[in-house]
């Protein structure tokens, strides 16, 4: 018996949202925002409206903000209600029970058993990631899930390993975080109402922006970071780049898409803010590639120009956005 909370979705023909199309500089951002883009898209809603939080991203010292759509934003925009799932019983039993109640289950899981990560983590590396489970076929041992930029299925041994069906009950095993999303009371806002609501959220997140330009703080330590990364090696650099450059770069690429969308809805005079967002995003991508070469070769390189450009773009975006929002 196959159960699903959204409905039958064919993983072989699923069409991902345009925010995940390959022409983007950062086709994937982080696992949580990516999975929500596709879940909301599959619900025939517009995920672009949930992106205001990207403008509050900050440099946290050892990473950039791992930005996520706040649960309250998702409820306000779409009527999606997210609660923590208390995994006191078998994870599979919980998932079946929630999906039968038309609730999508989000879990942190091991990418080692996710076939969509073939070529990176699948059967090679144990990495924590977030997926959204929308269908389960218990007899066939098939699970349909949202992950990163699309929708997939896993089956057979991957199904068994994901749900630890071959493991005895172990009181020492601590399950990853799990949530469920109630999707049976969607708000049904019109496009105009959705855009107006999203603008209100933009004002909220703009007020939460860093008090000082975070690119300046990032730049003061970047050169020293690259020096120790040369000794640590390219694999460590890739982890560093994901936590830093990919987050700031992808956030402002999404920010550019968002501002254009909001402007098209008549809710904002964008000016050149989308172009400034793209410039910041592209500079982050260039900085990542240039730094990877420096780490790989051990040669010296000057990063000040790119970091300065990123800081200037951030200032320009925040100044113009504050003026347009009367903030």
Give me the pLDDT at residue 171, please: 64
Would you say residue 240 has pLDDT above 70? yes
Would you say residue 170 has pLDDT above 90? no
Nearest to 252 by CA among 29, 18, 10: 29
316 and 211 in one domain?
yes
173 and 228 in one domain?
no
Choice between 277 and 188, residue whose per-residue pLDDT is larger: 277
What are the tens digits of pLDDT across the range 118-145? 999 999 999 999 999 999 999 999 999 9
pLDDT band at residue 21 under the 50/70/90 scheme:
confident
138 and 38 in one domain?
yes
Give me the pLDDT at residue 28, please: 82
The answer to whether residue 107 is domain-embedded is yes
Choice between 174 and 4, residue whose per-residue pLDDT is larger: 4
Give me the pLDDT at residue 248, please: 98
Choose one of 182, 210, 241: the last residue of a domain. Answer: 182
Chain centre distance of CA 35: 7
Choose one of 162, 182, 202: the last residue of a domain. Answer: 182
The answer to whether residue 200 is domain-embedded is yes
The answer to whether residue 248 is domain-embedded is yes
Task: Classify the C-alpha dihedral 253-65-265-318 as positive or negative.
Answer: negative
Would you say residue 22 has pLDDT above 80? no
Range of the domain at 312: 191-325
302 and 171 in one domain?
no
What are the tens digits of pLDDT across the range 56-94? 999 999 999 999 999 999 999 999 999 999 999 999 999
Give me the pLDDT at residue 24, please: 86
**pTM for the whole structure:** 0.94
Roughly what angle, to the nearest 10 degrees, separates helices 191-207 and 304-325?
A: 120
The answer to whether residue 69 is domain-embedded is no
Residue 240: both structure tokens together: 């560093």
DSSP 116-174: GGTTTTTTT---EEEEEEEEEETTTTEEEEEETTEEEEEETHHHHHHTTTTS---TT--
The answer to whether residue 68 is domain-embedded is no
Q: Which residue matches tokens 């345009």?
A: 18
Number of domains in the chain: 2
């Amino acid at each position: 018996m196959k159960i699903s909370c959204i409905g039958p979705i064919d993983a072989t023909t699923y069409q991902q949202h345009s925010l995940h199309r390959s022409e983007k500089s950062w086709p994937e951002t982080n696992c949580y925002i990516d999975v929500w883009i596709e879940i909301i898209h599959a619900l025939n809603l517009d995920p672009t409206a949930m992106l205001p939080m990207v403008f509050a991203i900050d440099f946290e010292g050892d990473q950039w903000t791992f930005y996520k759509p706040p649960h309250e934003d998702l409820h306000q925009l779409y009527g999606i209600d997210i609660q923590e799932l208390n995994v006191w019983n078998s994870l599979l039993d919980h998932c079946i029970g929630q999906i039968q109640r038309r609730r999508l289950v989000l879990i942190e899981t091991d990418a080692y058993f996710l076939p969509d990560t073939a070529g990176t983590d699948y059967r090679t590396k144990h990495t924590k990631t977030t997926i959204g489970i929308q269908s389960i076929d218990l007899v066939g041992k098939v699970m349909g899930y949202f992950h990163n930029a699309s929708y997939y299925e896993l089956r057979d041994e991957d199904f068994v390993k994901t749900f630890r069906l071959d493991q005895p009950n172990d009181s020492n095993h601590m399950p990853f975080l799990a949530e469920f999303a109630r999707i049976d009371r969607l708000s049904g806002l019109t496009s105009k109402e959705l855009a107006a609501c999203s603008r209100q959220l933009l004002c909220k997140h703009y007020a939460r922006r860093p008090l000082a330009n975070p690119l300046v703080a990032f730049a003061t330590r970047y050169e020293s970071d690259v020096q120790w990364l040369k000794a640590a090696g390219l694999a460590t650099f890739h982890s560093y780049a994901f936590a830093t450059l990919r987050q700031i770069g992808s956030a402002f690429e999404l920010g550019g898409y968002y501002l254009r969308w909001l402007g098209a809805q008549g809710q904002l005079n964008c000016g050149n803010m989308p172009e400034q967002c793209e410039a910041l995003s592209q500079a982050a991508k260039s900085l990542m590639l240039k730094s990877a070469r420096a780490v790989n070769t051990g040669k010296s390189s000057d990063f000040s120009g790119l970091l300065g450009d990123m800081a200037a773009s951030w200032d320009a975006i925040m100044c113009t956005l504050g003026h347009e929002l009367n903030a």
